[in-house]
Chains A and B, each alone.
Chain A
């Protein structure tokens, strides 16, 4: 029971991170019907920028931890937003309207480019960092096994809930969100009622990138080690999460992320850690076979 609870806590924290990345996939897919394969790299850049920010702040002398977190968060977001915007502008927008695979290939190219750029700039070795937030609550103890909920896990889960709430409100209640949904449902018509479609698409990329930056910051704090390659696997898993939840659906992405995190945690906890990724991707295959629209993706019923 204690062990189960511990894996549940770990799985939820991990799942929150995947969910945040998955939202970027799902939003971009929703609006232009394209899988942005460079999204995992945006997350990786978020992780690097936050680590560099922490190191610089430490070098400059100690700084109050919440302030450091906030500065790192802002830096990571600003950088990844600029990246997200630039990638869309340079690699995808010129290809809009050409054949469907062109932007996909361009995205894969962008992904390889970003990985190699960071490898050249930062080196290929794994970068470690001192844990910044340590300690936590000991929830219960039984037979020498302690269930802990670390402060960092609380931070991750609360920040995720806050961001999800804000994003859901933006999508459902603001005119920006309406413009995004309109563009998603009928791009030409959105333009015909006066939506600046190009700007709306750019904003979507920027919003997804900002969430990926937060995920990058979280993973830097959580694992304390990053390298230029982390974007690939995390990106694949977040993409899996998005598909699992029903691609195009915001709550679906979060749900998918949480499920992937939980599967991974429980599989590592009860079976073998080596096969955790096999377990995750097997689930993807099963979902695609039995429910191609994902858990929350609904087949559309529309009149014409």
Chain B
């Protein structure tokens, strides 16, 4: 469904991605784990075209999207719940969800809204509240809900567990699983390697802008290098 082929990304003179290859199949949850600064977010953002890859290609459903405008990539069927959630703070929950649906046909809106609120009943209680007044967990739900409103076929998630209480993290991961079981392909970027690998079908390990390891979730969880680098110390 999605393919990175030898993708390089630069910020000015700094090479953040050094030729990575990643493949995501329809219906999978694929996770990308790695330390701070390894290039996980850059990988996601390169996929969305901010910034565009300087070398290599990104292919989505057979179409080269490497140099497509971001808003066109969204209408192609990729939505993102970004790092730090980035909901619109001075818009209500309802307006945030409306923003998510900006690329879809208006006639889908009501049904989609119902689906998202069904998934996150908490958002329904807060529907007229401004995004900035929500708690971290609620903001994360809103960020995922907003992404789902775009009717994506591929959902990108960047650190959905960041800064959330363990109980909320578990909820969020359960919802990711549920969305996936309903047929959504998910590309999950996480520092919380343990949870991510348990959830994912396959995973990639990113170190300094290069993919150093890949395999199924269980394989990576079992691998001693992954354990030593990302799982030791309290998980």
Contacts and interface: CB of A to CB of B under 8 A. Distances in A.
Contacts of A301: 132
B230 interface: no
Given A182-B88, A192-B50, A303 B99 contact: no
B95 A178 contact: yes
B48 interface: yes
Interface string A23-67: 000000000000000000000000000000000000000000000
A193 B150 contact: yes
B48 A193 contact: no
B50 A194 contact: no
A300 interface: yes
Given A178-B95, A186-B88, A194 B82 contact: no
Given A178-B95, A193-B102, A185 B88 contact: yes
A191 B71 contact: yes
A149 interface: no
Interface string A172-186: 000100110110011
A192 B132 CA distance: 19
B202 to A, nearest CB: 25
Contacts of A191: 48, 50, 70-71
B72 to A, nearest CB: 8
Contacts of A193: 74, 79, 99-100, 102-103, 146-147, 150
Contacts of B183: none
A178 to B, nearest CB: 6
What is the predominant secondary structure among interface residues of chain A facing chain B? helix
Contact of B98 (A178, A302, A303): A178
Nearest to A200: B71
A105 B98 CA distance: 37
Interface in A181-222: 181-182, 185-186, 188-197
Contacts of B150: 193-194
B229 interface: no
Nearest to B133: A303
B1 interface: no
A179 B102 contact: yes
Contacts of B50: 188, 191-192
B71 A189 contact: no
A195 B82 CA distance: 15
Contacts of B75: 194
Given A194-B150, A196-B69, A186 B91 contact: no
Interface in B78-113: 79-80, 82, 84, 86, 88-91, 95, 98-100, 102-103
Interface in B98-157: 98-100, 102-103, 132-136, 139, 146-147, 150
Contacts of A190: 99
Contacts of A304: 84
Nearest to A301: B132
Interface string B43-57: 000001010000000
A186 B86 contact: yes
Contacts of B136: 303
A175 B102 contact: yes
Contacts of A192: 48, 50, 70, 74, 80, 82, 86
A175 B106 CA distance: 11
Contacts of A178: 91, 95, 98-99, 102
A30 to B, nearest CB: 11
A302 B89 contact: yes
Contact of B82 (A182, A189, A302, A303): A189
A112 B48 CA distance: 39
Contacts of B98: 175, 178
Contact of B86 (A189, A300, A303): A189
A186 B99 CA distance: 12
A163 B154 CA distance: 42
13 contacts: A175-B98, A178-B99, A179-B102, A189-B86, A192-B74, A193-B102, A194-B102, A195-B102, A196-B69, A300-B90, A302-B132, A303-B134, A303-B139
